[in-house]
């Protein structure tokens, strides 16, 4: 550490006093009492460490990345509580530690103390507010003068002038406070920047701390801040391509959700000060990068709200940093199923879930044979929003990506509710590893769509495979007098050797007074196969009719399974009618199997996880979604 050092026991005592703030009552405004000499010592020792380390830090995952703090000391402690206090986790902060907030001194002192104690695990970059001409105006100077004196502020300035300005993680993620520069062509230019130095009014150093991405521009543009530039998505793509990198991670701007993607997810903005200045209703975020470059965003809502997590997988390398692929996703407005457009380098999967106090995170489960992603959506207006959320609040910039193709099969579970409807309920129950066990060549798609404004709802999509095709369709249309029943598509339907056919139909019609189950338009709707089985699932709900009729079935010589669910919202007791299969493995589930049955059994019951056992040529399925959205 050069000629200047601090005794370990003194440093530990400073950290201990700074962390005592955690026991203070929220909003009490308690200040941590440090001696001026102790603070000067922190600045001097940290300054020497900054100068010993390069201007462009070369870091390795795993590491946690935080954006602007701006003197919000209690929120800094929340970040450590969620991410783990050093040295339990490695940290990289992107600058802007002081100004605007009420406790800039506590904030910067704790960060400097951790830097001194763990110099190879804790890293600080320079922000545009770590500059005398800026923090002289926006609060830090006044706080130093009020609590100590102007000399201490000058000591901090000397320390800030030695901070590194950028970092690169595993040669693939470039981090800085502001953004790119028209003067930046290679990373050696950052390494060659001299220190100590003030921030100039223009040039590379200025841009690294001040520039911003601009969605509506191409190339370089004027910055509304009056300093530096804005840059378009094309500049990000070009820079990453030329330098063989994959992501730019920066801070510098308040973003509503604490993080925000730009340029087809090639750049991410992280802002870690929730409820910024007490005037914004923004969340804060912290991004964790593990050894495989899987990035998870922990979202910090303002103190009176719950935190949640966003999981982002940025991976796809066969060896350490080779063979990357990037996938861009567009979401179909009709059925919410993503279209996959191949691009270079990174494959990203985003799923969102609320509050990670429970470990049963719903995320991508990978294996050699299949990829399954579970996504549930709850009504954002409901007071009983469930724990698992897929945010649809910003449809134009949806950050939710649903599935990725694997070698054998793909399963997509999509549940969507209309956030404008005050009576839309969250659709089915949560589960940790539910639903479907596939054979090696099956494809299953579950689609559940509720549309309270549109006159037509059509959510159909399937991919045929060699062995079987299964379609689950839930359609609810509160404005249409005739809700269409959506029929199954058959695998190899033109040939008599069809191996397996399954129909799942769910229909709700709140306007019709004469809804009678589901109108099927097949000539032989309950298909008979000579070599396999036929399965029909029918859910009918009629809010106007006092009776709901079920649909009879014809049975073949092989096994036939029928699921019939009838709901009458006008009845004092809503009946669930189920005729299911042979193994009663779940609570309150009653089952019946038919071979040459001539009658339909109607059983008042409810089942949570029906599992169908078919003949040897069919596929076993479990946990068929059984709820119908209430559109009344």
Active site residues: 129
Separation of alpha carbons 273 and 260, rounded Å: 14
DSSP for residue 395: G
**478 to each of 65, 424, 449, 483, 543, how far by Cα in Å?**
46, 11, 12, 9, 11
Separation of alpha carbons 260 and 268, rounded Å: 6
Burial of 631 (0-12, 13-18, 19+ CB in 10 A): buried
Contacts of 136 (CB under 8 A, 6+ apart): none
Contacts of 470 (CB under 8 A, 6+ apart): 442, 443, 444, 445, 502, 504, 619, 621
Beta strands in 52-119 (DSSP E): 56-59, 63-66, 91-93
Q: Is the peptide bond before 87 cis (omega within 30 degrees of 0)?
A: yes
Which tokens sit at 118? Answer: 């763990």
- For the chain, the maximum distance between any two Cα atoms, rounded to a whole number of angstroms, is 94
Alpha helices in 150-293 (DSSP H): 150-160, 188-191, 204-210, 233-242
Number of H helices, E strands in the chain: 10, 28
Separation of alpha carbons 94 and 53, rounded Å: 16
Is 517 within 8 Å of 548 (Cβ atoms)? yes
Separation of alpha carbons 397 and 261, rounded Å: 9
Say how far residue 188 (Cα) sits from the centre of its chain: 34
Which tokens sit at 52? Answer: 């010993």
Separation of alpha carbons 438 and 448, rounded Å: 20
Burial of 563 (0-12, 13-18, 19+ CB in 10 A): buried
The sheet carrying 365-366 orders its strands as 365-366, 370-375, 409-415, 443-451, 469-477, 500-509, 533-542, 560-567
Beta strands in 67-176 (DSSP E): 91-93, 122-124, 166-169, 173-176
Backbone angles phi, psi at 134, to 5 degrees: -95, -55
Vertex 209: Cα angle to 285 and 160 (nearest 5): 95
In 3D space, the residue among 608, 553, 554, 560 whose CA is nearest the CA of residue 582 turns out to be: 560
Please report, to the nearest 10 degrees, the dihedral formed by the alpha carbons of residues 219, 221, 224, 229 taken in order: 70
Separation of alpha carbons 351 and 329, rounded Å: 13
Bridge-based pairing of strands 91-93 and 122-124 is: parallel
């Amino acid at each position: 550490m050069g000629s200047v050092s601090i005794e370990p026991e003194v440093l530990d005592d400073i950290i201990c006093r700074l962390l005592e703030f955690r026991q203070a009552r929220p909003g009490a405004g308690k200040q941590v009492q440090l001696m001026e000499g102790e603070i000067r010592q922190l600045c001097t020792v940290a300054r020497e460490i900054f100068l010993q380390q390069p201007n462009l830090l070369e870091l390795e995952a795993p590491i946690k990345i935080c954006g602007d703090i701006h003197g919000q000391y209690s929120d800094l402690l929340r970040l450590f509580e969620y991410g783990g206090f050093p040295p339990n986790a490695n940290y990289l902060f992107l600058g802007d530690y002081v100004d605007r907030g009420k406790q800039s001194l506590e904030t910067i002192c704790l960060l400097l103390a951790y830097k001194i104690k763990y110099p190879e695990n804790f890293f600080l970059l320079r922000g545009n507010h770590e500059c005398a001409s800026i923090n002289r105006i926006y609060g830090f100077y006044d706080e130093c003068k009020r609590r100590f004196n102007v000399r201490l502020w000058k000591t901090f300035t000397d320390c800030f002038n030695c901070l590194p300005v950028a970092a690169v993680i595993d040669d693939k993620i470039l981090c800085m406070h502001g953004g790119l520069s028209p003067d930046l062509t290679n990373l050696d230019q950052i390494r060659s920047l001299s220190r100590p130095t003030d921030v100039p009014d223009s040039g590379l150093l200025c841009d690294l701390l001040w520039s911003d991405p601009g969605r509506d521009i191409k190339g370089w543009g004027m910055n509304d801040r009056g300093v530096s530039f804005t840059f378009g998505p094309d500049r990000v793509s070009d820079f990453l391509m030329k330098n063989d990198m994959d992501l730019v991670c920066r801070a510098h701007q308040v973003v509503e959700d604490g993080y925000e993607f730009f340029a087809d997810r090639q750049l991410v903005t992280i802002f870690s000060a929730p409820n910024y200045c007490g005037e914004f209703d923004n969340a804060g975020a912290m991004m964790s990068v593990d050894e495989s470059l899987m990035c998870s965003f922990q979202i910090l809502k303002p103190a009176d709200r719950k935190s949640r997590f966003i999981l982002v997988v940025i991976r796809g390398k066969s060896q350490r940093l080779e063979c990357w692929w990037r996938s861009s996703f567009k979401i179909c407005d009709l059925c919410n199923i993503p279209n996959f457009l191949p691009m270079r380098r990174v494959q990203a999967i985003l799923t969102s879930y609320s509050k990670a106090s429970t470990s049963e995170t719903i995320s991508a489960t990978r294996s050699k044979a299949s990829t399954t992603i579970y996504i549930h959506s709850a009504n954002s207006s409901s007071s009983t929003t469930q724990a698992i959320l897929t945010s649809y609040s910003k449809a134009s910039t949806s950050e939710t990506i649903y599935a990725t193709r694997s070698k054998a099969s793909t399963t997509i579970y999509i549940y969507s509710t209309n956030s404008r409807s005050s009576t839309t309920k969250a659709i089915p129950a949560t589960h940790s590893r539910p639903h479907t066990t596939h054979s090696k060549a099956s494809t299953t798609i579950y689609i559940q769509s509720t549309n309270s404004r549109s006159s037509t709802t059509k959510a159909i999509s399937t991919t045929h495979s060699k062995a079987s095709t299964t379609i689950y369709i839930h359609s609810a249309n509160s404005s249409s007098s005739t809700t269409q029943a959506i029929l199954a598509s058959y695998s190899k339907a033109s040939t008599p050797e069809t191996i397996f056919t399954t129909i799942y139909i769910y229909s709700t019609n709140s306007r019709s007074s004469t809804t009678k189950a589901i109108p099927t338009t097949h000539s032989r709707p309950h298909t008979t196969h000579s070599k396999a089985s036929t399965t029909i699932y029918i859910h009918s709900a009629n809010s106007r009719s006092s009776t709901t009729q079920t649909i009879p079935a014809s049975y073949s010589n092989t096994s036939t399974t029928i699921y019939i669910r009838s709901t009458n919202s006008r009845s004092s007791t809503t009946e669930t009618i189920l005729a299911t299969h042979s193994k009663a493995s779940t609570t309150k589930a009653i089952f019946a199997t038919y071979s040459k049955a001539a009658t339909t059994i109607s059983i008042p019951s409810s089942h949570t996880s029906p599992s169908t056992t078919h003949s040897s040529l069919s596929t076993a399925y479990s946990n068929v979604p059984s709820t119908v959205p209430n559109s009344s």
